[in-house]
Structure 1
Amino acid sequence: MKRQTRDCDIVVEKVKTERVTKSVRQIRDADVTQQQILDAAELEFARHGLKGARLSAIANLAHITTATIHYYFDNKEGLYKAVLQRPIDEVQAMVSQLNLDHLPPEDAMAHIIRTAIAYEATNPHRQMLWFQEASQNQGLYFKQANVWSLYEHLLKVLERGITEGCFRPLDPILTLTHILSVCIFYFTVHENWKHLTPEIDRLSPEMVEKHTEAAIKFVLAGVKKTP
C-alpha cells in the first residue's frame, strides 16, 4: 500500500512538473512570438507609416499568420501603438539605471547623451517611426505614448544644472529639442548622407563613438555657464 502511495505521489509530481514546464514554455514562446511581430511591424511602420503598412507584409516578415497578429494585438492600430511604446519603455529602463541624481549635472548630461546615441545606433531606423507619425498622424498616437516620462530625466538634469549655476539660464524645453537634434539627426539623415561620403560607414562603432564624443562636447559647450 505504501509503495502504491509513493508511486502515486511520483506520478502526481511528474504531472505537476510537466504542467509547470509547459506553462513556462508557452509564456516564453508567446514572448518570442510577440517580439518577432513587433520587430517586423517596426520595419513596416518605419517604411510606410500606419496608413501604408500592411498586416500581411508584417505577418510574412515575422513568419506568422495575420490571425496571430490579431490574437496578440487585436488590430493594426493596437500593433502600431505597441511599436511606438516599445522604444520609449526600453530607453526609460536604460536611463533609470544611470543614477543621474548622484552625478554632477555635466556628467549626468554626458551619460544621457551617450545612452541615447548608443540606443539609436542599435536601432537606426526607429527615428522614421516618429517621422511617419508626425507626417501622417500629426502626433495623434505620439501624444498617447508615455513620452514625457522619458524626457523628464533630461529636463531634470537641465534644471538642476541651472539651479546649481553650472549651466547658463536656458529654456529647458527648447534646449531639450536642441539636444535631441544633435544626438538623433545623425541617424535620421543617414540614408541620404551616406551618398555624400560613401567611403565612410557612419554606422560603424568607430564613427558612432566619434559622433558621441563630438555631441557631448558640443552640447556641454552650449549649456555650460561661462566664467
Structure 2
Amino acid sequence: MNEMVQKPSKPGDERATRQRAAREAATTPGADRVRVNDPDRTMANILQVATAEFADKGLAGARIDEIAALTSTSKRMIYYYFGSKEGLYVAVLEEAYRRIRRIESELHLEDLAPEQALRTLVGFTVDYQLANPDFIRLVMNENMHRGEFISKSATIQELNIPVIHAVRDVYQRGVAAGAFRPDVDPVDLHMSISALCFFNEANRHTFGAIFKRSLDTPAATAQRRESIIEMIVRFLRP
C-alpha cells in the first residue's frame, strides 16, 4: 500500500490532547492496540528516529514504515501519537528548536559582561550546529517548503522568543557600557549570527570541494570558529 501524506494536525492543544489519550491507550488492554510500558519514552524514541529520517530524506522521502521498524512501536501507534506524517514532522521540528533553545537558556549570559556574553553565544551557536548536522538539514528541508510547516506551529514561534530577548539584553547592555554601537536591530543581529554559523556547517562540503580545503580538521574548525566570533564582535564595536 502506498503511503499517503495525511492532512497535518493543528499544533498545540489538539496534539497535547491526542498524546495524553495515546498514553492512556498505551496502557489500556485491547486486542488490536499496541501497548507499551512507557509512552513518554516511546514518543521520545519515535522523535529521535524520525529526526534522522526527515533530516536525511526530507518530508517527502521519509517513510513512516521505516520509522516504525526502527522503533519499539508500530505505524498505527505513530499515527495515534502524532496524527499524521506531517504531524510527526512538525513535532520533530518543534523538538529540534526546543533542544537548542533549552541549551541556550543554560548559558547564563546575563551573568557575563556584554562582549563576553556575545562571544559565548556565538561560540555556542558554532559548536552546536557543527555537532548537530541533523538540525541544519531539517532547517534546510523546511526552507525548501518555504517555512510552510514551521508557520503552522505556535510552539516554534514561542520557543524562539527567548533567544531574541537574550540577544537584545546582551546588545543593550553592551550599548549602555559603550562596548557596542547603538544602531543595530537585535533580530538582524540574531540573523547575522545564524547566517555565519549555519553556512559554516551547511556548506562545508561544497566549499571544501570547490576551494580544495579540508574544513574538518580540529585546527581548521577552531580557526573558523574564532573568525566567526571576531566578525560579530567587531561588527558591533563603535
Partner residue of 2:136 out of 127, 141, 159: 127
Please say if residues 125 and 188 of structure 1, whose CA atoms lie closer than 8 Å, have aligned partners that are also in contact. Answer: no
Q: Which residue of 2 aligns with 1:93?
A: 102
Task: Flag the 1:149–1:78 CA change in 2: closer, same or farther, 3 A.
Answer: farther
Q: Deviations over 1:78-101 (max 9, x none)?
A: 211221111222222212122211
Q: How far is 1:63 from its partner?
A: 6.3
Partner residue of 2:164 out of 136, 144, 151: 151
Instruction: Quote the RMSD (CA, aligned, Å).
Output: 2.6
Partner residue of 1:80 out of 55, 68, 89: 89
When you count helix as a share of all residues, which structure comes out higher? 1
Q: Deviations over 1:20-76 (max 9, x none)?
A: xxxxx933xx44433332222122222343344321232234464312322432321
* Structure 1 residue 139 corresponds to structure 2 residue 139: no
Paired with 1:217 and 1:100, the residues of 2 have a C-alpha distance of 18
Amino acid aligned to 2:37: Q
Q: Which residue of 1 aligns with 2:37?
A: 26
Partner residue of 2:205 out of 188, 191, 214: 191
Task: Flag the 1:122–1:77 CA change in 2: closer, same or farther, 3 A.
Answer: same
Partner residue of 2:186 out of 159, 172, 196: 172
**Equivalent pairs, count:** 198
Paired with 1:214 and 1:91, the residues of 2 have a C-alpha distance of 22
Please say if residues 91 and 150 of structure 1, whose CA atoms lie closer than 8 Å, have aligned partners that are also in contact. Answer: no
Task: Flag the 1:54–1:110 CA change in 2: closer, same or farther, 3 A.
Answer: same
Task: Flag the 1:103–1:79 CA change in 2: closer, same or farther, 3 A.
Answer: same
Report the structure number with the largest CA radius of gyration. Answer: 1
Please say if residues 162 and 170 of structure 1, whose CA atoms lie closer than 8 Å, have aligned partners that are also in contact. Answer: no
Please say if residues 121 and 208 of structure 1, whose CA atoms lie closer than 8 Å, have aligned partners that are also in contact. Answer: no
Paired with 1:166 and 1:54, the residues of 2 have a C-alpha distance of 51
Gaps of 5+ in 2: 1-35
Paired with 1:84 and 1:198, the residues of 2 have a C-alpha distance of 34
- Partner SS state of residue 139, structure 1: coil
Partner residue of 1:102 out of 78, 99, 111: 111
Farther-moved stretch of structure 1 (161-170 vs 178-187): 161-170
Amino acid aligned to 1:171: D
Paired with 2:225 and 2:81, the residues of 1 have a C-alpha distance of 37
Gaps of 5+ in 1: 1-24
Paired with 1:31 and 1:164, the residues of 2 have a C-alpha distance of 46
TM-score by length of 2: 0.72
Paired with 1:141 and 1:224, the residues of 2 have a C-alpha distance of 37
Q: Deviations over 1:98-131 (max 9, x none)?
A: 2211211111111111221221122113112112
Amino acid aligned to 1:139: G
Task: Flag the 1:165–1:115 CA change in 2: closer, same or farther, 3 A.
Answer: same
Question: Percent identity between the aligned chains?
Answer: 28
